[in-house]
Amino acid sequence: MKFSIIIPTYNRADELRETLRSIARLTVTGEWELLVVDNNSTDHTRAVVEQERASFPASLRYLFEPEQGRYAALNTGIRAALGQIVATTDDDARVEPDWLTRAAAGLDAFGCDYVGGKVLPIWKGSRPVWLPNRPGRHWSVLALQDHGEASREFGVDGLPWPLGINTATRREAFDRTDLFDNRLGRKAGTLRNQAQREWHLRARAAGLRGFYVPDMVVHHVVEAERLNKQYFRRWYYWHGISRAILFAKLGVDMDAPDNSQLDFSRVPCIAGVPRFMYRTLGRHAIDWVRSTLRGDVAAAFEHELWFCFFAGVVKQRWSERHVPVPSPQVSFSS
């Protein structure tokens, strides 16, 4: 089998139905399958999968994963997948009909181990003035991504890693690097968000390479309830907690883990946090004041979000302040 698509899902049965119907419209050459991994849903998720199976153009399988967490469900799907290429998306996504074709073409063209592409918004509410309608730091909160029209290598020259809503990976890449760390992914009650980055850092250390393929396109539903400042603040707080867990595991820079240059086992800390991050906090405070005074609400809110991030870092590092920080566990040479 050439392709396996995996969708982890939790209590989004009606949205999932639309996602399945989007995937059913794929134009695919070769045998393929779709695996829906139910992560303890209490709604009618299983019924939706069984209803859609009757008309689905490929094998549609329902799996159940009792361990809470998106990446526990994703790992279950990867273990069960039969395809040579494992593609992942979310239960609130809409894929372009040529999604898998573009992914396979990218893997072949670059001779790489994984590819990822654009994730564009389907706005379900009015976009607030502090949220720019263009790619940037705010987009990561909403799982959106657009790096332009040129193909580039992930993890090189500042290009961040692909999002889990739009990836395709050769099966053997998971054999070389193992699966995802569920502690760093989203689960009910949290917004942890570093499982993709942690896997890709390990993958880079193992010599795996991936490329951004701009014509590999997924559209992501952005619900109205996410378009408020409180959601963004909460997301960035959990972002700080997630980066602190990543720091404790791999010994990487919490503010810039993809370009970490220091051995943090030797860096002075205050309450478990590297001392230089307090200077960074001061710079963001000054820039927040300046942005506020000139009426730049988007820039001011971006600096405010760094305060939320720092609060999450402090919370997690304080709880582990007596645990030694490891020397770097991955290589950062490109």
pLDDT recorded at residue 331: 60
Q: What is the pLDDT of residue 330?
A: 75
Q: Is residue 326 part of a domain?
A: no
pLDDT at position 325: 85
CATH number at residue 78: 3.90.550.10
| Bridge partners, residue 255, by sequence | none
Domain identity same for 145 and 281:
no
Model confidence over 273-294: pLDDT tens digits? 999 999 999 999 999 999 999 9
Same domain assignment for residues 92 and 181: yes
Same domain, 91 and 197: yes
pLDDT of residue 248 exceeding 50, the answer is yes
Domain co-membership, 136 together with 243: no
Q: Is residue 325 a part of any domain in this protein?
A: no
Percent of the chain having pLDDT more than 90? 88
Boundary-marking domain end, from 177, 199, 227 = 227
Question: How high is the mean pLDDT of the chain?
Answer: 95
Which one of 198, 227, 256 terminates a domain? 227
In a domain, 255, yes or no: yes
The reply to whether 48 and 172 lie within a common domain is: yes
- Looking at residue 332, its pLDDT comes to 53
Whether 77 contacts 33, CB under 8 Å:
no
**Domain boundary, last residue among 227, 253, 277:** 227
Cα–Cα separations (whole angstroms), residue 271 to 70, 158, 264, 314, 323: 31, 30, 14, 7, 11
List pLDDT tens digits, range 38-73: 999 999 999 999 999 999 999 999 999 999 999 999
Asked if residue 155 belongs to a domain, the reply is: yes
* Shared-domain flag, residues 275 and 190: no
Helices (H), the chain: 13-24, 45-53, 70-80, 99-110, 171-177, 195-205, 229-250, 276-293, 297-319
The reply to whether 7 and 151 lie within a common domain is yes
45 and 193 assigned to the same domain:
yes
290: tokens are 């300046």
> Are both 249 and 219 inside the same structural domain?
no
Which residues form the domain of 242? Answer: 231-319
In the chain, how many domains are there?
Answer: 2
